[in-house]
Structure 1
Amino acid sequence: MTRAMAIGSRTAGSMAFAALALMTALAPAPAFAEKIKNPVAVFSGLDKITGRTTSFDVYIDETVQFGALQVTPKVCYSRDESEPQKISGFIEVDEITLDRKIRRIFTGWMFAASPGLNAVDHPIYDVWLTDCKQSSDVPAPEETKVNGQ
């Protein structure tokens, strides 16, 4: 290869790289939908003894008991309906032990698309997040009464 050919191929390569960089810079960025904060988290629970699976709604910051577990969602996010759903929630799960003590067994994020990623590790019950929604057929918890009224 002659020196002129080597310089010409470097110049062509540099121009191709520059063109690719320019196209990448001018390409529209992918749109990411904002997270929607929902007041209700939907869970499924499995009783490993009976094999029964139950679906239940829980309002944010409400605690619901499933077997010996107490499930409290702190936040539940979804996406706009025009976007692929990415359901996620920050959840706390406590176990009521046989001597009636409450022991935290899970605190963290659950993802509906990957229920096994952050699973509740319990010998009898499994609980996982399945959905988030804006309303529920279950009545909302009563507001705390002010001044005992």
Structure 2
Amino acid sequence: MSRLALAAALILGAGAGWAEPTNRGTGAVLRVLDKLSGDVRDVELDNGGGAPVGRLLLELGECRYPEENPAGDAYAYVMVRDTEAETVFSGWMIASSPALSALDHPRYDVWVIRCKTA
């Protein structure tokens, strides 16, 4: 079996009955890197909230984390808009794999760090 077929079988098989129970956080901490200035900033957002950062507007749909491990792998639904209100990113970001679903922007990198818990 080829490596690609084996990887697909493992991923698809794991997704069928391997879902880990999760809790919904009250918000998330996102890290923003300005690639031009080198500035790094952490932004705390509540679920359904948003905040301007430079030329972007960050919006958080929700953040989820493993039920058994609140400090574990967080994943958040994030929307990023530019100054012209054009959506430049919309999707789930995963703390342990920021490159899996990354914002593609010439100036900024944004990724999720962790969920906020009650």
Normalized against structure 1, the TM-score is what?
Answer: 0.62
Q: Structure 1 residue aligned with 2:41, among 32, 40, 54?
A: 54
Consecutive unaligned residues of structure 2, counting only runs of 5 or more, are: 1-16
* CA separation of 1:125 and 1:77: change in aligned 2, threshold 3 A: same
Structure number with the higher helix fraction is 1
Structure number with the higher strand fraction is 2
How many residues matched? 102
Structure 1 partner of 2:62:
75
Q: Percent identity?
A: 28
What displacement does 1:82 show?
A: 4.2
User: Per-residue displacement from partner, 1:119-143 (whole Å, max 9, x unpaired)?
Assistant: 11111111111100125xxxxxxxx
Q: Is the 8 A contact 1:33 1:83 kept in 2?
A: no
Give, in whole Å, the separation in 2 of the partners of 1:31 and 1:116.
23
- Determine which structure has more spread, i.e. the larger CA radius of gyration: 1
Relative contact order (C-alpha < 8 Å, sep 6+): which is higher? 2
Give, in whole Å, the separation in 2 of the partners of 1:82 and 1:55.
22
Consecutive unaligned residues of structure 1, counting only runs of 5 or more, are: 1-29, 136-149
Give, in whole Å, the separation in 1 of the partners of 2:70 and 2:114.
15
Structure 2 partner of 1:118:
101
* CA separation of 1:78 and 1:122: change in aligned 2, threshold 3 A: same
Give, in whole Å, the separation in 2 of the partners of 1:112 and 1:82.
14
